[in-house]
Structure formats: C-alpha cells, structure tokens
C-alpha cells in the first residue's frame, strides 16, 4: 500500500471522512494522477487530499472557514498556471459527491496552483521523473 492510500485510510479511520468522503478523495486522486499526470508520490497531492478531508469534516461539523487571504488567491489567479488550475479544480469539484462552499473551492484552487508551479511535479508530468 502506498503512502497516499495509507493517508486516506488514516483520514477515514480518524473520522475526517466517511465512506462517501473517502470515495471523493479517491476521485480527486484519480483526476490529478490519471487525467493530469501527477505522480501518486507527489507530496503536495497528499497535502491536498488531507486538506479536502479536513474541509469535508469542517462542512459536516458546520464549521465555516475564513476565506483564503485575497493576495494568496490573487497570486494564483494572476499566474500563468491559472487556466489549468481552474480547470483541474472544476474537474475535482464536479467529480465529488460532496459539495463544498466557494471558500473551500478557493483553497483547492490555491493548492492546485501550487502543485502546478512545483518544479518536481512539472518534471514528473513531463515524464522526467517517475
């Protein structure tokens, strides 16, 4: 079992996600790895999976998150990776059974933007690194 699967197991066993939430996390992983070529070993993918699990728990608990800082969001929106980041974020959101708030979606957008700007992930997606 890879670390990403272990991570999802821990998040389910500790109550961050239920069975449907787990499936949502697996769909997210599928979008990023199969559709967009990110390696399972991408550490930032693990961070995103963990973030979304926490977001699902927040939603279930009725906890509202403060919106992401405007300048952080603007950094991604004004970057050259924004069109792809938004496309990936939209695909992730559409794949999930659970619905997330706009503020939570913005956190996903920023995470995905960070993944697209990560030099290691860029190499891996080009096939330079397995």
Partner 1 sequence: MRIAVGGLNRNEMEAAVRKAAPDAEVIPTNDMQGASLLKQGKADYYFGACNSGGGAAISILIGLVGYSKCCTVCKNGSTPNQQEIEDFVKQGKIVFGMTVDSLQKTVPLLVDALEKYGTAN
Kindly tell me which of 72 and 77 has the beta carbon lying closer to partner 1.
72
Mask for 62-81, x = binds partner 1 (CB under 8 A): ---xxxxx--x---------
Residue 90 lies near partner 1 (rule: CB under 8 A)? no
Contact 22, 98 (CB under 8 A): no
Nearer of residues 8 and 31 to partner 1, judged by Cβ: 8
Plot region of 18 (φ>0 → left; ψ -120 to 50 → alpha; else → beta)? beta
Q: Please, which residue, 59 or 95, has the CB nearer to partner 1?
A: 59
Based on the shown chain and the rule CB under 8 A, indicate whether residue 124 belongs to the binding site for partner 1.
no
CA–CA distance, 34 with 56 (Å, rounded to integer): 23
Q: How far apart are CA 119 and CA 52, in angstroms?
A: 23
The token pair that represents 25 in the structure block = 């996390």
Q: Does 38 bind partner 1 (CB under 8 A)?
A: no
Binding residue (CB under 8 A) for partner 1 from 16, 21, 24, 89: 16
In the chain, what is the straight-line distance between the N-terminal and C-terminal CA atoms, in Å? 17
Are 115 and 38 within 8 A, CB to CB?
A: yes
Contact residues toward partner 1 (CB under 8 A) are: 3, 6-7, 10-11, 13-14, 16, 43-44, 46-48, 50-51, 53-55, 57-58, 65-69, 72, 107, 110-111, 114
């Amino acid at each position: 079992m890879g670390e990403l699967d272990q991570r999802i197991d821990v998040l389910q066993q500790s109550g961050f996600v239920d069975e449907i939430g787990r499936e949502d996390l697996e769909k997210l992983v599928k979008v990023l790895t199969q559709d967009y070529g990110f390696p399972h070993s991408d550490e930032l993918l693990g961070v995103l999976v963990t973030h979304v699990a926490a977001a699902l728990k927040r939603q279930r608990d009725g906890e509202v998150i403060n919106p992401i800082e405007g300048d952080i969001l603007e950094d991604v929106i004004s970057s050259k990776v924004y069109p792809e980041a938004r496309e990936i974020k939209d695909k992730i959101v559409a794949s999930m059974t659970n619905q997330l708030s706009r503020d939570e979606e913005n956190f996903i957008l920023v995470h995905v933007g960070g993944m697209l700007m990560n030099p290691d992930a860029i190499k891996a997606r080009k096939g330079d690194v397995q």
